[in-house]
Amino acid sequence: MPEKYMLNFDTRDLPQEDDEYMVLGSGIAGLYTALAASCAGGSVTVLTKQTMIDTGTDKAQGGIAAALGDSDSPALHREDTLVAGAGLCDTEAVAVLVNEGPDRVRELMQMGAIFDMDSHGLALTREGAHSQRRILHASGDATGAEIQRVLTQRVRETDKVKVLENHYVTELLVRDNTCYGVLAFDREKKAFKVFRGKVVVLATGGLGRIFEHNTNPEIATGDGIAIAFRAGAEVMDMEFIQFHPTVLNLPGAPRFLISEAVRGEGAYLRNCQGQRFMPLCHDLAELAPRDIVVRAILKEMAKTSSSIVYLDLTHMDPDEIRSRFPNITKTCAEYNLDITIDPIPVSPAAHYMMGGVKTNLVGETSISGLYACGEVSCPGVHGANRLASNSLLDGLVFGGRIVHETQKFLKDYRPHRLEFACDWLLDPLTIDYQGLRRDLEVLMGQKAGPVRSGNGLKEALEFFDHWGHLKRHSVTCAEQMEVKNMLQVGELVAEAALARRESRGGHYRVDCPDNHPRWQKHIIFRR
């Protein structure tokens, strides 16, 4: 079984630690789950790939969606989520999200999260495909950083939660479809260690870094999906990648997310000739669902032979812009762009993974003892296209449900001291892994980006077939492990995208531009 592991090891030769909960990841999903478990009386070890704040949560700008406004309701939030999801949302999962979400957000505020206020109370904004102003935000456009701050502080104050930074989880230890723990690589000591857990929770985030142009942090290389798939877990909806419509595209500047909240507050999209085009594309104009805005931008770029469009705030009050979007204002100013008088050059980039490790409504995967929440997971709540600002809420709601469910599981738990080993992988190959990674990133952007074709996806799969022999060889360092994981999830994305012969939500094929009722179903892979 050369595909099951990516390196040779023997747990009998390695140091080992035990805990009730092993939580993998330190974003909103991982830290909230860890805190909830500790409050329920459990002891928790959190393993995180880099530092505690190297997360997608910390970079989130727009906000967190919850039906807390006087004119809003969970029913309205549910309807907006289902419409955005393009027919593939699990209706029960969506009902859980929107009904339990407000209490989870109130809990964040009780922990000390400070959201922006106005004369009416919470300063709620509106984003694409939302019918109501229901987006809470903090420090203007630094919502994720505020949530990360609060959860990090609370975890550090909690004796029952131990956080180990720079611990890169390389393998799940699974036998007879039951997970008993993980193998992790201590990046500082350059050594492996076994962590046994009664409950293992994947909260490792997304895979945006497999694309050349993306908004994701360095850690988002799809590790959680890759290790779960190799261990035999089901993964679902891998073709559905959300590309954010408005990402800074300026020579010499890194790709930087320009929050959807900018359009929510009234900014316009204009082509390189200064013309607005979204009112001709959708009734909601700039506030249409993200997949529609992305395709409209790409069409406009092709029509005008340009690599960018412009996000225009110049008709808005300059003081309000600076107050509402201080982080975006500051970042653009570093590249001599004054967003109060200069339109912002933008283009789409990979942003969020709607698919992932398949779970039920309490976070259970197809492997006993293995749970997942946040962007690594796929309970079906986002369907084919995530509604803006539902992602942070997702991590809170389903992380809490995992803890509630596993309290019953732990009562009947009977420990088994199984050992695991792999000795069948061939010696490492001497190849340019960094060059291979760059080739992969470019390939995914060109062949599996926001516009796809059957021929392009077949070319992508030929690339993965060419490098398939790497599965038979071990690796020597974390950087090589990352590339192997990126190859694994890239192949799954391309395979699913080729299989789905229609266009729906975040998946668009020029050779199959329409959606079809017979494709209103999910693609599930299992090794």
pLDDT tier, 414 (very low <50, low <70, confident <90, very high otherwise): confident
Identical fold at 1-240+354-527 and 245-349?
no
Active site residues: 290
Q: Name the residue among 360, 386, 361, 523 with its Cα closest to residue 83.
A: 386
H or E segment at 244?
strand 241-248
d(CA 420, CA 280): 59
1, pLDDT greater than 70: no
- Name, in order, each residue with C-beta under 8 angstroms of 350's C-beta and a sequence gap of 6 or more: 208, 210, 211, 213, 214, 215, 216, 241, 242, 243, 244, 445, 449
Count the alpha carbons within 13 Å of 354 in the hemisphere toward its beta carbon.
32
- Name, in order, each residue with C-beta under 8 angstroms of 492's C-beta and a sequence gap of 6 or more: 225, 229, 235, 238, 525
H or E segment at 174?
strand 167-175
The SS3 call for residue 416 is: coil
Distance of alpha carbon 256 from the chain centroid: 16
Q: Of 125-129, 388-392, 413-417, which gets the smallest average pLDDT?
A: 413-417
Identify whether the C-beta of residue 352 lies closer than 8 Å to the C-beta of residue 375: yes
Mean pLDDT of 46-52: 97
| Residue ranges of domains in the chain | 1-240+354-527, 245-349
Q: pLDDT digits over 245-297, tens only?
A: 999 999 989 899 999 999 999 999 999 999 999 999 999 999 999 899 999 99
**Looking at this protein, which amino acid is placed at residue 155?**
V
- Six token digits for residue 288: 């249409």
Topology adopted by domain 1-240+354-527: FAD/NAD(P)-binding domain (3.50.50)
Q: Of 178-182, 356-360, 404-408, which gets the smallest average pLDDT?
A: 404-408
Give φ, ψ of 411 to 5 degrees.
-60, -35
- Name, in order, each residue with C-beta under 8 angstroms of 480's C-beta and a sequence gap of 6 or more: 428, 433
CATH ID of 245-349, from 2.30.30.20, 3.90.700.10, 3.40.50.720, 1.10.10.60: 3.90.700.10
Q: pLDDT digits over 79-95, tens only?
A: 999 999 999 999 999 99
